């Protein structure tokens, strides 16, 4: 063996040894005593941990997240008001399982029914509100499935509003995390209901079954679920130091276990990841040339805050870059017109996240002479390259 061969062998050996002994950027997530679980960054929707997250399982009362979400959307659209009185049907009153304890023929405000659903996990309240909104629970389930489709919940089908066991009623940890994110992002006005620790109705004080609300001040939602088939489930969200995480855990063995296992997942996320804001909504990131317009250029940026949750140890190693779309931008340009994309790139050059680059302002079409002159310029530029 030559000296060169020896040197190459040493370099190879020490290179392999160095790679083998280098500490991982993020350790493996903790194993949980559950059937499936997902940890999601609420700001970006990025999935940080996924263990059987797409497995279709009975969601039990996690179903009520969609029931309350659909009701909140109806409130936003003005088709429902919190002060509206809902007549309690015999079907709702007779419903078994967890109850708000509304009475047949009572008239109950929508705002109270929402608390009965979210805090007390009332099956009776869920059916009453579903009937009021859609005329019947089956029609309301159709509304739930339409919303699930909009949110990309590919492994979900709702057959009822309360989570009552049904072979055609299923969801997944990943889908419930997506739903929780929609509740947090799209309806912050009602999200505060999910952290209420108790609600009194009909003289009965019932506590929220989410034990983490008492154990961790950073936890402010969302919902528990339990049936014999589903086990004990929990979708929880917490915010620390400006970073919000969503943990979705299906199929633990007890009420205590679902709180403990969910806390493990949240703790892992906050210990090893950090949220970093790279660009703000409507921040000018690029000035793009415009042809045949009243202005020569248009400001471009991102339509929503460009925020990423990254490993703490390497969060400073990431940078953004702008990639403009091919072709010329011809006026008129409306606000929101795609201009290209913004990429988040790691130290290894790999793209880990991207978002559309859009026009932040409108540019009207220019006058006759501007349009003619720019047409001539474009012609000759194309002719001579």
Are 177 and 248 in contact by the 8 Å Cβ rule? The answer is yes
Contact indicator for 158, 145 with CB cutoff of 8 Å: yes
**Active-site annotation holds for 64:** yes
What one-character DSSP code corresponds to residue 316?
G
The C-alpha torsion from 49 through 52 and 55 to 59, rounded to 10°, is -60
Of 36, 44, 61, 248, the catalytic one is 61
Known active-site residue 121: yes
Task: Report the distance separating Cα 207 and Cα 211, nearest Å.
Answer: 9
Residue with tokens 């006759």: 368
At residue 107's C-alpha, the angle toward residues 103 and 112, to 5°, is: 90
Gyration radius from the chain CA atoms: 27
d(CA 307, CA 278): 6
What is the C-alpha separation between 189 and 169, in angstroms, rounded? 29
Candidates 36, 44, 64, 126; catalytic one: 64
Give the whole-angstrom CA distance, residue 74 versus residue 163.
Answer: 20
Question: In Å, what is the CA distance from 62 to each residue of 50, 126, 235, 324?
Answer: 18, 12, 8, 43
Candidates 239, 315, 211; CA nearest to 273 is 315
Q: Could you tell me the two tokens for 328?
A: 């010329």
Phi and psi (nearest 5°) for 313?
-65, -25
Active-site position among 121, 171, 172, 248: 121
Helix (H, G, I), strand (E, B) or coil at 109: strand
- Catalytic residue numbers read 61, 64, 121
């Amino acid at each position: 063996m030559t000296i060169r061969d020896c040197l190459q062998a040493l370099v190879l050996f020490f290179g392999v040894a160095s790679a083998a002994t280098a500490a991982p950027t993020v350790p493996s997530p903790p194993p949980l005593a559950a059937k499936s679980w997902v940890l999601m960054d609420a700001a970006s929707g990025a999935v940080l941990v996924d263990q059987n997250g797409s497995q279709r399982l009975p969601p039990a009362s996690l179903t009520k997240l969609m029931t309350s979400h659909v009701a909140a959307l109806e409130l936003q659209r003005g088709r429902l008001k919190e002060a509206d009185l809902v007549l309690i049907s015999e079907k709702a009153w007779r419903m078994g399982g967890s109850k708000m304890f509304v009475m047949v023929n009572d008239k109950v405000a929508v705002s109270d029914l929402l608390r009965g659903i979210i805090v007390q996990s009332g099956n009776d309240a869920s059916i009453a509100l579903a009937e009021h909104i859609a005329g019947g629970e089956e029609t309301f389930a159709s509304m739930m499935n339409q919303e699930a489709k909009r949110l990309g919940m590919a492994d979900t089908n709702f057959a009822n509003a309360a989570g009552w066991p049904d072979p055609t009623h299923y969801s997944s940890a990943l889908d419930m995390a997506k739903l929780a994110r929609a509740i947090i992002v799209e309806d912050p006005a009602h999200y505060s209901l999910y952290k209420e620790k108790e609600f009194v109705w009909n003289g009965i004080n019932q506590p929220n079954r989410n034990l983490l609300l008492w154990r961790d001040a950073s936890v402010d939602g969302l919902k528990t679920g339990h049936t014999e088939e589903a086990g004990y489930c929990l979708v929880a969200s917490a915010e620390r130091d400006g970073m919000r995480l969503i943990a979705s855990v299906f199929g633990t063995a007890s009420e205590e276990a679902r709180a403990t296992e969910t806390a493990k997942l949240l703790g892992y996320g906050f210990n090893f990841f950090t949220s970093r804001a790279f660009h703000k909504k409507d921040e000018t990131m690029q000035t793009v040339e415009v042809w045949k317009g009243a202005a020569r250029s248009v400001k471009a940026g991102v339509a929503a805050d460009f925020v990423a949750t990254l490993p703490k140890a390497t969060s400073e190693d990431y940078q953004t870059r702008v990639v403009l779309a091919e072709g010329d931008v011809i006026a008129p340009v409306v606000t929101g017109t795609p201009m290209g994309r913004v990429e988040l790139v790691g130290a290894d050059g790999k793209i880990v996240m991207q978002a559309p680059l859009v026009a932040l302002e409108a540019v009207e079409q220019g006058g006759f002479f501007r349009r003619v002159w720019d047409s001539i310029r474009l012609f000759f530029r194309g002719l001579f390259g």
